[in-house]
Amino acid sequence: MGGVHDPAVRSWVRPAMTLLTPEEAAERIHVCTKTLRQLRREGHIRYVAITDRVIRYRPEDCDEFIEGRVRKAPECPSTSRKTRRTSTSTSSGKVVAFTARQAAKASARR
């Protein structure tokens, strides 16, 4: 059950669960409430539906959402210290100067 037995009350007392309002949850994950609503509708963030109209968020679900969005930026190829691979060309085509191709087209029209 996860509670604590309180002999004075003679029953199990569950620790109070902290629930965040949509405004508090939005602030916690650094988005506006409209974005939070969209994230909820799309299933990107977990929530607690108290009633059909009263929605709350657990702090750990907000933290989980943030952790799930952590990305490492890919290394920029132009600044990478890795050496570039050298390979031989597999093209069977012949390299032709632009002016030679232009001259060939002109002579073909004549």
Segment 26-54, tens digit of pLDDT: 999 999 999 999 999 999 999 999 999 99
Judge if pTM exceeds 0.85. Answer: no
Helices (H), 1-110: 22-28, 33-41, 59-68, 98-109
CB 40 within 8 A of CB 25: no
Residue 99: what pLDDT? 81
Residue 31: what pLDDT? 97
Residue 17: what pLDDT? 81
* pLDDT(90) > 70: no
For the chain, the helix, strand and coil percentages under 3-state DSSP, each to the nearest 5: 35, 10, 55
